Each structure stands twice: as structure tokens, then as C-alpha cells.
Structure 1
Amino acid sequence: MIAVRRLRHTNGWIFGTMLFSACLSLLASFVLAVDAVRLAADPHTALSCDINAVISCGTVAQSWQAQLFGFPNAFLGLVAEPVVITIAVAALGGVRFPRWFMCAAQGVYTLGVLFAYWLFYQAMFHIGALCPWCLLVTVSTTLVFATLTHVNLRDGNLPVPARLRSVLRSAIATDLDALAVTIWLLALALLVVTRYGTQLFA
């Protein structure tokens, strides 16, 4: 158990998890981008993940929220995730990025994860349909954000007060961040099931 806990705090584990999560997000973004192009050519086309009234990528993709900036949101993932993948691969290769760079990465990705959760909220409570690929983006961006925050707190990259920094470092040293992320993702799954219930499988 101690060996596993030590492994979780190594660069190999942290950036390996970040790399895997970013690759999942990139895959989902690619599929969503392809589907957006297909829908642009034929708005009535049926997508592979149009399963029922609730699990429907087409319904989500044709909402205004899916093109908030005038183009499919998936294109943002196609741009952002390769940057995260590059950071993870470089770090696994031994590159140590300067503090300002890691702070900037934290800030930009925080905006990204907030956007992902805004889209999740919109799908849950306004669009009334869920896209499996979008849900994968929500989960994977959460994991990337968690690993990025972990390494930045561990290495003292974030400009936080010394006392708070000590508390946060203690929290990640005892794996409270992993526990928090696990509980958070389980809570999201419970929210989806509670909200839609049997409609998910109708």
C-alpha cells in the first residue's frame, strides 16, 4: 500500500495519468468534431450515439450551447489537448517547465474545465439530453485538471499563501485529492442517474 501511494506521487504516475486522460479527451473531441461536420452537411443524419431521447449526441450537437463561439466546441479540444499531451510527454522525458509556464497552464486549463462543466450543466438541465462523448470529455478534463493541480501544488508552482500551501501539500501527500476526485465523479454519475433514471435505458 505504501509503495502504491509513493508511486502515485511520482512524475511517471502523474504525467502518465495526465497523458492518458488528455488522449481520451482528444479522441472524444475528434469524434465530436467529425459528427459536427456530418450534421452540418445533413442535419437529419443519425449519429452512432443517438440511442434514445436522453442519450443523444445529435440533440446536444444541434443546440446553441454546442457552438458557443460560432463553431463546434469540439474544435477547442482539438487545439487544447495536444498541448496537454505535449506537456505530459515532455515531463515524462524529464523536462522541467518554469514556474510561470505551469501557472499559466493551470490558469488556462481551469478555464477549460469550467467550460466543460458549464456544458455538462447545460446538457443536464437545459438541453435535456446527454452525449456519451461529451461525458467522456467531462471526466477526462477533470482528471487532467486534478493531475495538473497535484503537480503544481507538490512543486510549489501556484502563488498561494505559505500556510495554505502547507495545508494543500499535506492534503495531496495523504491522497485526499484522489479521494475528492473519486467522490466527485461518483457524485456526477449519481446525479445523472437520479436526474434521468430509467430514461437512460429506454
Structure 2
Amino acid sequence: MTAAEEREPFPRGLPWLLLVGGGIGLLAAFVLTVERFALAEDSAYIPTCSVNPVLSCGSVMTTAQAAVFGFPNPLLGIAGFAVVAATGAALLAGGRLAGWYWAGLQLGATAGAVFVHWLIGQSLYRIGALCPYCMIVWAVTVPIFWYVTLRNLDRRWPRHPAVAALVRLHSVPLALWFAVLVALVLLRFGPEL
């Protein structure tokens, strides 16, 4: 392990999380994009991720929320997750990234997390349906944001007690975060799932 890796809070875990999480997110975004285009070509098309009235990509894809910026949201995921996966690959190959790159990755991860949580709220309380592929995106966006944030906080304030505690107990807030998301889904849809 190099001296630079020793200073990183998650020297092996973060690169793998970025590569694998970015790859999973990229695949889910790609499949969503293909499904969205198929639905645009044929309004009778039933997406592969439409399982029942609650787990229904088709119900979600046809809403205004699915194209907030005037184009399908998964196109943002394709671009963003490609960068995340490439970052993980670069780190695993021994690359060292400049501070500005980490700041940009933090900005992107934060924007992604905010956007995903807005979409979660829209799915639960406005649309009334869940997209399974979208939920995969949720599941990888949260830890990507969390661990990039912890890494950057640790680099900025390496001796701060609160940062050290968050790094040491990193999985506890993440588990609670997922527990809240699962509870919100179950409270909203419960037996309908």
C-alpha cells in the first residue's frame, strides 16, 4: 500500500464501489433508456420492468418527472455513471486524481443524490408507482454519494473528531439511510408489492 493509499479512508473499497456501483448504475440507466425508446416507438409496448401496478416502469416512464430536463432522465445516468465507473477503474489502476477532480465528482454525486431523492418522493407520493430499474439506480447512488463524501471530508478535515467518527462508523448511517428508504416504500405500498 502506498503512502497516498494509507491516507485514504477507504483505499480499496472506494475504487471498487465506484467501478461496480458505476457499472450497475450505467447498465440500469442504459436498459431504462432502451425501454423508454421502445415505449416511445410503440405506446402499447410493456417494459420488461413492469411487473404489476406498483412495480411498473411504464407508469413511471410516461410521466413528466421521467424527463425533467426535456429528455429521458436515464441519459443523465448513462453519462454520470460512466464517469463514476471510469473513476473507479482509474483508481484501481493506480491513478491519482487531482483535488479539482474530486470536487467535481463530489458535485456530481451530490447532484445525483439530490435528484434521486426528489425522484423517490415523486415515485412514492405523486406517481404512485415504482420502477425496479430506477430503484437499482437509487441503490447505487446513495453509497456512491456517501463514500465520495466521506473520502472528501476526511481529506479536508483529517483530524476532525466528527469526520473520524463518520469514517469509523461509515456503515451505520448508510444502513439507516437504506432502512428509511425501505420503510417509506413499505409504508406507501405495503401489501400492494
TM-score in terms of structure 1 length: 0.86
1:3 corresponding residue in structure 2: none
Contact 1:153 / 1:168 at 8 angstroms: preserved in 2? no
Partner residue of 1:170 out of 164, 174, 179: 164
Query: Which has the higher mean CA deviation after the structures are superposed, 89-98 or 23-32?
Result: 89-98
User: What percent of counterpart residues are identical?
Assistant: 34
Q: How does 1:1-202 map to 2 (within 5 A)?
A: 9-156=9-156, 166-175=160-169, 177-200=170-193
* Aligned counterparts of 1:190 and 1:41: Cα–Cα separation in 2: 36
* Aligned counterparts of 1:46 and 1:86: Cα–Cα separation in 2: 33
1:9 positional shift:
4.0
* Aligned counterparts of 2:167 and 2:120: Cα–Cα separation in 1: 30
Question: Where in structure 1 do 4 or more consecutive aligned residues deviate above 4 Å?
Answer: none
Query: Which has the higher mean CA deviation after the structures are superposed, 184-193 or 122-131?
Result: 184-193
1:10 positional shift:
3.6
Contact 1:24 / 1:140 at 8 angstroms: preserved in 2? yes
Match of 1:51, SS state, is: coil
1:104 positional shift:
1.9
* CA spacing shift, 1:149–1:165, aligned 2, 3 Å: farther
Contact 1:153 / 1:165 at 8 angstroms: preserved in 2? no
User: Can you give the 5+ residue segments of structure 2 that lack an aligned partner in the other structure?
Assistant: 1-5
TM-score in terms of structure 2 length: 0.90
Match of 2:160, SS state, is: helix
Query: Which has the higher mean CA deviation after the structures are superposed, 107-116 or 118-127?
Result: 107-116
Match of 1:15, SS state, is: helix
Query: Which has the higher mean CA deviation after the structures are superposed, 94-103 or 65-74?
Result: 94-103
* Aligned counterparts of 1:169 and 1:68: Cα–Cα separation in 2: 35
User: Can you give the 5+ residue segments of structure 1 that lack an aligned partner in the other structure?
Assistant: 1-5, 157-161
Size of the aligned set, in residue pairs, is 187
1:173 positional shift:
3.7
* Aligned counterparts of 2:151 and 2:165: Cα–Cα separation in 1: 13
Contact 1:11 / 1:91 at 8 angstroms: preserved in 2? no
Contact 2:80 / 2:108 at 8 angstroms: preserved in 1? no
